[in-house]
A and B are shown apart, each in its own frame.
Chain A
Amino acid sequence: MQPPSRLLRFVHTADLHLGSRVITLPGMDSQTSSGLTDATYTAWQSIIDLCIREAVDFLLIAGDVYDSADRNIRAQLQFRDGLRQLEKHGIAAYIVHGNHDPANAWSRSIQLPKNAHCFSSEEPEVIIHRDQDGTPIAAIAGMSFATAHIRENLAERFPPRDREWPFTIGLLHCSIGGAIGHEPYAPCSIDDLKVCGYEYWALGHIHQPAMIASGDPYIIYAGNPQGRDMGETGDRGCRLVTVGPDGSVGIEPVRTGSYHWDLIEIDISGAVDLGILEERIRERLAAISEEAGGPIITRLILTGVTPLHHELAGGGITALAERLTEDTPTGKHPVYPERIISRTTPRINREEIIARDDILGEICKKSAGLLSGDKKEITKAIAPLYISYARSYLNQPDDEEMCAIIEEAEALLLSRLAAGGIE
């Protein structure tokens, strides 16, 4: 079969964060733990393999190759070695530096191979990429971060597309519209990008993969290629972009993360004891494992109306987590429970408990009062740890978190006080 005719094929990636921290779990075996800490390197190698396998014309890297604050030499060497592999196959790499790896934060001793081009941090540069015959097939306009904290709108400085340029790509590490959860470095708007008249904007900085605009131009955050904690769930990878001779653009997300972080919600309605619950969780995780593309680190959210509500709060969750860690659920790929959170609802109507005249009723009344009103008493109770002793290691719980703590405390109390009373 003839390969589909194409004008251009490239891979777009960003935010490699090579060698950065990946959360490991207590009780995890050393091999998995080691695999997890090396997962960013593994993902980088997957990208290199993809480029070679697909014989792409070039690789675009939109910043944050590594975390310069760590001064991680191994990360820079691994990056260089990957580029060398591409060089052997005649594949170019175009790189801009981001806030985590600004131009001034790279080792002087590590020289990138000749196939790699780092864009200037002074002015936007435009490189015309030519095929083996010397025919220009793409124009890449890019600009690096000179330092970590660039608050300037770099997109505004990008030149408008020249009529002579072939398929034009903007390569930039930036923050469109002040994305949540990320520092607003090189802030810009979609219009700032559109006005340049390019066909494709290869962006970095936002770790969640996103297609901001799906044509005229394509504005895409590739996302980071490997999730590193529960804040980076779901499929992670890069984009394989194919431009046809007619100018059509095909964008294929390719998974590169060897470990998958995921939040899994399990409805445990009807489970009447922890043994049955554990069986149900194992069944669900085994099913997820069969469908997964690799090992999964998961946070389990238990929901539903269950008589176990109080028992879970009163140590049931801890016992379950210990059992699942000791005896990891089996399936096609391993599944590692990171944490189990109970968001179940008690079978007994809370309003009915509040209506009671006994201590249980009083507890619910007090907790209801705290949830809807002033939480000073609780804030004061937990202050010795949160405000005094471990302040620098802990985030102060916000109102939502305080409510969650009160609700869990109430469930814990009801569970402990009712212990042994229920068949």
Chain B
Amino acid sequence: MKITSLFIDGFGKFSQWSPPDRFGDGVTAVIGPNEAGKTTMLAFIRRMLYGFPDGRKKDLNHYQPVNGGKIGGRLAFETDAGDAYLLLRDGVRGSPTITRTDGTEVSGSLLPSLLGPADQVFYENICAISLDELQEFGTIDRKEIRDRLAAAGAGNLPVRKVADELGASADAIYAIRGKKKQINARITELKDLEQKIRTVKESQGEYDRINEAISEKRDELARKKDEKKSFEEAITYATALSKAWDLYLERKEAIKAREQIPETGTFPEDALLELNRLVEEVRRLEEESRDRMQQCERIDTELETVRAREEILNQTDAIRSIERTIERYRSRKDDLTRCQLDRVQKEKRSTSQLENLGDDWSRERIIGFDTSIAVINEIKALHEDLERTDDACKTASINHTAAKTTYMEKREDLSLVHQRRADIGEIPDPGTAQNLLGQARDLLGVILQIESLEDDLASIRKEEARTHEIIASLKIPPAPQPPKWPGYLVFLAAILALIGGFLAEALLPAAALAAILIIAGAGILFFRGAASDTGSPVTGDGSYQEEARTLAAERNEIERRRSNAEEKGRRIAGAFGLASIPSRREAEDLRDHHEDLVTLAGRGADLEKDIARAEALCRTASTELKARKDALSHARSRRKDAIDAWKSWCQRRGLPDTTHPELITHLISGIKEAKDLIIAIDGDRKREDTLYEEIQSFEEDVRAVAAACREPVAGTPDTIGERLITLLNEAEETKRREISLIEKRRGEENEMENTRSRLQNTTGMLITLLQSRGAATPEEYRERERLSREREELKRRIHDADEGIRRISGDERFDDVIMALGEYDPIVMTTRLREMEDEQVRIHTSIEEINQEIGTLQERSSVIEGDDRLTVLISDAAALREEISRISREWAIYTTASSLLAMAVETFEREKQPAILQEAQSFFSGITEGRYTRIIKPLDSAHGSDLFVEERRGGRKKVDELSRGTAEQLYLALRFGYIRDYVHTATPVPVIFDDILVNFDPGRRENACKAIAELAETCQVLYFTCHPETVADLTSAAPGTVVMDLSAI
């Protein structure tokens, strides 16, 4: 198959794009700079052939359309049989659609059949050669080069690499001589696990034996415990006797002591406390009685020295009154002094003010003068009225002067305008002047029209004369027309022929004859008509006649219009007093004159309007002057009324009428101040009188009280008052002390009586207590109480000993124990007890040993019971077996794959490769210009890697002895050879080269291009490049090369 063209709907940068040219049958060189879209186009072709990858596939350039369009497009191709098809792919999914060029769809299996065994992998490996493959030759080592070359000869499949990988993968799991492999590790691990499982199982197997041993030990333990119990009881009894022995001895001793103490009866526990309390109380009461008697005597002595002054106490109220008012008295005295000083100063100021007002102003007149707010408001109103009327007079006067000046100016303006109108003189009104100017212009227009009409008339007359001359020269007689009758005669003959045929019963020939005759007649008539149409001698004469008539008509019309214009001109000239139509020059002068007249008439009219306007302004100014004059008179009248009112007010107040209004406010203020001062002096005098009376009253009171207290009255009244107050305070204090002592004396007497009574009672109670226990004195009482306590103590000791023994023996065995203790021998019993204790220790040790053994066995049993390792271990072992099985299988797959590959390669190399090498040899020889003639692969070589090349002279080289450049050439030759061999057995498919020669020097490139051209003889070659020199070489090697330039995209 061969690709002829393509259309990209949307793919990478391409959108709705087709290449500029068709692809060639042989080589097509697609050239364009970097980024022109070569790689995108290449990818498009591959994907059109093998499908677009799923959009979800990662790590792949999907060439999503960036300039619009839907991913996909069309690929036009031809089969080897020359049939043309279109391959369509729409989006990433589904199978392609294949149609013929006429749009009919063909089976979807066409494409696979055309591509044959070239699946995508094959296509990439064989039919597409990229620059990267060759460039890598510069970076990989010789072994890798050798492998690449071997692969190139084997369908470019990485056979060696895969074989190595498979071997390595299998070896990692298991190798016959390997020890540290996965399988070895797993089996070792499994063996360890199995050993652990065996151990655990053995341990589990001991469970029954251990439990039986536990059972036996428990029986033995029970026996030992019984034995131990009987010893414990015997030891307990012996121990009890030994413990009770000391108690028994103490009991015995106490009983003996109690028998030796006499019976004194029982004393209460607090007997001594009560006795001591009563003895102490008696002593204390006697002491208290003595103390109180001494206190009474001390009070009596003090009372004799304390006596208060009665005459002063009698004046208590009066002195307390003085005490309350003494500070007020002092204050009043100070006030009186300050008031007198203040009044004297005011009187001086008043005298000075009266002098300032003048002699007319006495104290009475000032008091009587009204200085109220109403009066001040009156003065203010009169003053404002005077000022306002004065201002109004001044304003009216200024306005009057201004109006007078304006009137004089307007009068002057009017005179000036009148003078300018008189200068112009007599002129018509503007309407008349304008009318005359219109007529002058009409006259000029009529004259111009007449001149124009005369010019037209002259040219028509000239044309008319020329036409008449032509008509005269064309006058020829007309030709005769051919006659119509021969035609009619032929028609008649046809009718007769029809009638004759009908009568002779030969209608058909007659009809035919008649038809011929009718056609002939019609032809005659037609030709006669045509001859009459073409037979007119000269058609031009008629048209000139018509033109002559038209010209005459036009001339007549112009003459009529000229006559009308002349009539109008004469009428207008008459209006201006002219007898005939003036010349064009005169008419123009007339028009100019009237234009000047119109200008003058307009100016005169404007001046008339100015005069009227100036007269109106004069009138207005006169009226204004009169109004201002009246206003001035009115203002002066108001001013006079205000002055009269002020004078009248001054007279009413007793003031001179010459008093200036602005001064009156100062006068009123002075009067008011003097008036206030006089009133204040009168007030001060009254206050002085009141203060004086109050001071006198206080002094009299003080002296009277001092006399009553028999105290001297010398000194200031307030000093006397102070002394009296002091004396009263002292007398009152003395009186309070006296009363207090008397009260205290009375209280002491009462307490003393009370103490005596209590002493008597307490003494009685003490005597009663002593007598109750048969004692005469407190000391005897105390001795009897001591004996009683001793007896009780012995009784308690006996009881305690009994209780101790009872606790040891128990209630039931108490009496037996007491009896046994009566016969008890401590020395014998101690020896016996020690023997029993030794035996007990021995049994106890034995029990502990058995318990320990049971514990050990139980622990082992518990360990077995709680041992959950077994399930885990056997589960792990099972999992490990699975793992061993899994990795063994994996190894088996790797090993099988290795075997399969080896078998396949061996067959391939034996059966297929020689033909490929044969083809490759031809290319290699061409590319190297005959330096190398053969490619040899010995059949006994292992894995097909030992290729040789033979030089022209017969020398052989291994591929790893070749230079890198030659290795690259060999690589290409092998790839080309493979393709050519493939084409022998399958349908050729387009081969794609992606700029593979970019690193070749010019000579090698030229040779390689020749090889490509040779390859293109068997299949279509699409060569993508950005190098023009490569294109040139290709074109040179294959003259039919189609060059497709993508630079313009």
- Give the interface of A toward B (CB within 8 A): 19-26, 34, 36-38, 40, 70-75, 77, 107-109, 229, 272-273, 275-276, 339, 348, 352-353, 355-363, 365-367, 370, 377-378, 381-382, 384-386, 389-390, 393-395, 397, 405-406, 408-410, 412-413, 416-419, 421-423
Asked if B900 and A37 sit within 8 Å, CB to CB, the answer is no
Q: Does B220 contact A (CB under 8 A)?
A: no
Closest 3 CB pairs of A and B: A362-B904, A109-B211, A409-B896
Asked if B157 and A360 sit within 8 Å, CB to CB, the answer is yes
Supposing A339-B886, A421-B120, A421-B124 touch, asked if A366 and B903 sit within 8 A by C-beta, the answer is yes
A36: chain B residues within 8 A (beta carbon): 875
Asked if A366 and B904 sit within 8 Å, CB to CB, the answer is yes
Asked if B899 and A25 sit within 8 Å, CB to CB, the answer is no
Asked if A70 and B201 sit within 8 Å, CB to CB, the answer is yes
Asked if A413 and B888 sit within 8 Å, CB to CB, the answer is no
Distance of A410 Cα from B866 Cα, bound (Å): 51
B904: chain A residues within 8 A (beta carbon): 359, 362-363, 365-366
Q: Which residues, 435 to 470 on B, are CB-close (under 8 Å) to A?
A: none
Interface string of B150-173 (1 = CB under 8 A from A): 000011011100100110000000
A273: chain B residues within 8 A (beta carbon): 54, 56-58
Main secondary structure of the interface of A (DSSP, over half): helix
A197 → B minimal CB distance (Å): 41
B900 → A minimal CB distance (Å): 5
Distance of A419 Cα from B901 Cα, bound (Å): 15
Contact of A359 (CB < 8 Å), options: B58, B157, B165 = B157
A-B contacts, 22 of them at CB < 8 A, read A20-B874, A21-B871, A36-B875, A73-B204, A108-B211, A272-B57, A275-B58, A276-B57, A356-B117, A358-B912, A362-B905, A363-B901, A365-B904, A366-B903, A370-B900, A378-B899, A382-B891, A389-B174, A393-B187, A393-B885, A412-B894, A421-B121
A75: chain B residues within 8 A (beta carbon): 871
B60: chain A residues within 8 A (beta carbon): 423
B205: chain A residues within 8 A (beta carbon): 71
Q: Which residues, 1009 to 1025 on B, are CB-close (under 8 Å) to A?
A: none
Asked if B865 and A423 sit within 8 Å, CB to CB, the answer is no
A367: chain B residues within 8 A (beta carbon): 900
Contact of A406 (CB < 8 Å), options: B56, B201, B868, B896 = B896
Most buried by A among B868, B876, B891: B868
A365: chain B residues within 8 A (beta carbon): 904, 907
Supposing A366-B904, A422-B120 touch, asked if A395 and B885 sit within 8 A by C-beta, the answer is yes
Output the nearest chain B residue to A67 by Cβ-Cβ distance: B874
Asked if A74 and B201 sit within 8 Å, CB to CB, the answer is no
Q: Taking A108-B212, A360-B155 as given, write out 7 further A-B residue pairs in contact, using a Cβ cutoff of 8 Å, ordered by the A residue number.
A: A19-B871, A22-B875, A352-B119, A363-B904, A390-B884, A413-B900, A418-B121
Supposing A362-B905, A394-B885, A405-B889 touch, asked if A73 and B120 sit within 8 A by C-beta, the answer is no
Asked if B874 and A416 sit within 8 Å, CB to CB, the answer is no
Output the nearest chain A residue to B184 by Cβ-Cβ distance: A389
Output the nearest chain B residue to A22 by Cβ-Cβ distance: B875
Q: Does B399 contact A (CB under 8 A)?
A: no
A359: chain B residues within 8 A (beta carbon): 154-155, 157, 159, 904-905, 908
A21: chain B residues within 8 A (beta carbon): 871, 874-875, 877-878
Query: A-B pairs with CB below 8 Å: how many?
Result: 212
A377: chain B residues within 8 A (beta carbon): 899, 903
Q: Does B879 contact A (CB under 8 A)?
A: yes
Distance of A234 Cα from B212 Cα, bound (Å): 44
Q: Does B882 contact A (CB under 8 A)?
A: yes
Q: Does B53 contact A (CB under 8 A)?
A: yes
Asked if A423 and B875 sit within 8 Å, CB to CB, the answer is no
Contact of A393 (CB < 8 Å), options: B121, B190, B210, B898 = B190
A423: chain B residues within 8 A (beta carbon): 46-47, 50, 53, 60, 120
A417: chain B residues within 8 A (beta carbon): 157-159, 162
Q: Which residues, 853 to 877 on B, are CB-close (under 8 Å) to A?
A: 861, 864-868, 870-872, 874-877
Asked if A385 and B158 sit within 8 Å, CB to CB, the answer is no
Interface string of B115-137 (1 = CB under 8 A from A): 00101111011000000000000
Asked if B865 and A382 sit within 8 Å, CB to CB, the answer is no
Output the nearest chain B residue to A36 by Cβ-Cβ distance: B875
Distance of A74 Cα from B865 Cα, bound (Å): 5
Distance of A394 Cα from B889 Cα, bound (Å): 10
B866: chain A residues within 8 A (beta carbon): 74
Contact of B879 (CB < 8 Å), options: A25, A72, A74, A362 = A25
A118 → B minimal CB distance (Å): 17
Asked if B874 and A378 sit within 8 Å, CB to CB, the answer is no
Asked if A355 and B117 sit within 8 Å, CB to CB, the answer is yes
A216 → B minimal CB distance (Å): 41
Distance of A70 Cα from B888 Cα, bound (Å): 28
B883: chain A residues within 8 A (beta carbon): 26
A342 → B minimal CB distance (Å): 11
Most buried by A among B159, B176, B211, B874: B874
Contact of B892 (CB < 8 Å), options: A20, A355, A382 = A382
Distance of A158 Cα from B377 Cα, bound (Å): 151
Distance of A282 Cα from B1031 Cα, bound (Å): 53
Distance of A273 Cα from B59 Cα, bound (Å): 10
Interface string of B50-89 (1 = CB under 8 A from A): 1001101110100000000000000000000000000000
Supposing A359-B908, A408-B893, A417-B158 touch, asked if A72 and B121 sit within 8 A by C-beta, the answer is no
Output the nearest chain A residue to B118 by Cβ-Cβ distance: A356
B204: chain A residues within 8 A (beta carbon): 70-73
Contact of B875 (CB < 8 Å), options: A23, A339, A358 = A23
A24: chain B residues within 8 A (beta carbon): 875-876, 879
A386: chain B residues within 8 A (beta carbon): 888, 892
Asked if B54 and A272 sit within 8 Å, CB to CB, the answer is yes
Output the nearest chain B residue to A313 by Cβ-Cβ distance: B893
Q: Does B985 contact A (CB under 8 A)?
A: yes
Asked if B208 and A107 sit within 8 Å, CB to CB, the answer is yes
Output the nearest chain A residue to B864 by Cβ-Cβ distance: A73
Most buried by A among B162, B893, B899: B893
Output the nearest chain A residue to B890 by Cβ-Cβ distance: A318
Asked if A72 and B870 sit within 8 Å, CB to CB, the answer is yes
Distance of A366 Cα from B898 Cα, bound (Å): 12
B125: chain A residues within 8 A (beta carbon): 421
Output the nearest chain A residue to B904 by Cβ-Cβ distance: A362
A26: chain B residues within 8 A (beta carbon): 879, 883
Asked if A390 and B187 sit within 8 Å, CB to CB, the answer is yes
Asked if B122 and A70 sit within 8 Å, CB to CB, the answer is no
Asked if B155 and A358 sit within 8 Å, CB to CB, the answer is yes
Output the nearest chain B residue to A28 by Cβ-Cβ distance: B879
Output the nearest chain A residue to B197 by Cβ-Cβ distance: A70
Distance of A359 Cα from B121 Cα, bound (Å): 13
Asked if A358 and B154 sit within 8 Å, CB to CB, the answer is yes
Distance of A390 Cα from B189 Cα, bound (Å): 13
Supposing A19-B871, A74-B867 touch, asked if A272 and B908 sit within 8 A by C-beta, the answer is no
Contact of A73 (CB < 8 Å), options: B176, B207, B889 = B207
Q: Which residues, 782 to 831 on B, are CB-close (under 8 Å) to A?
A: none
A352: chain B residues within 8 A (beta carbon): 117, 119
Asked if A38 and B212 sit within 8 Å, CB to CB, the answer is no
Asked if B897 and A37 sit within 8 Å, CB to CB, the answer is no
Distance of A384 Cα from B897 Cα, bound (Å): 16
Output the nearest chain B residue to A279 by Cβ-Cβ distance: B56
Contact of A72 (CB < 8 Å), options: B183, B871, B894 = B871
Supposing A24-B875, A38-B871, A356-B117 touch, asked if A393 and B884 sit within 8 A by C-beta, the answer is yes
A167 → B minimal CB distance (Å): 37
Distance of A365 Cα from B884 Cα, bound (Å): 31
Q: Does B309 contact A (CB under 8 A)?
A: no
Interface string of B687-726 (1 = CB under 8 A from A): 0000000000000000000000000000000000000000
Q: Does B418 contact A (CB under 8 A)?
A: no
Distance of A276 Cα from B58 Cα, bound (Å): 9
Supposing A393-B190, A421-B124 touch, asked if A77 and B865 sit within 8 A by C-beta, the answer is yes
Distance of A355 Cα from B982 Cα, bound (Å): 13
Q: Does B143 contact A (CB under 8 A)?
A: no
Most buried by B among A25, A71, A361: A71
